Amino acid sequence: MKRLVRSRHDRKLSGVLGGLAAYSGLDATLLRVIYAVAFIFTGFFPLGIAYIAGIILMPNESEGTL
């Protein structure tokens, strides 16, 4: 069973988007580009708050989990 966790290996800031990419099966770079474009057009509050919530709520990936 897949778990939504922050990635330890595919991270740029905190691993939230790397974890979302691994969970959804999308390419992490594509997800980051989509996030950056949406972040520019919507401003800080919707996606910035969601990213901070992901940092707080998503657990870190354990050593054995890939």
0.95 cut: is pTM over it?
no
What ranges do the domains of the chain cover? 16-57
Residue pLDDT, tens place only, 4-61: 999 998 888 999 999 999 999 999 999 999 999 999 999 888 999 999 999 999 999 8
Q: Which pLDDT does position 63 carry in this prediction?
A: 61
Q: Say how far apart CA 49 and CA 32 lie, in whole Å.
A: 16
What stretches of 1-66 show up as alpha helix (H) in DSSP? Answer: 16-24, 28-42, 44-57
pLDDT recorded at residue 45: 87
| CA 55, chain centre distance (Å) | 8
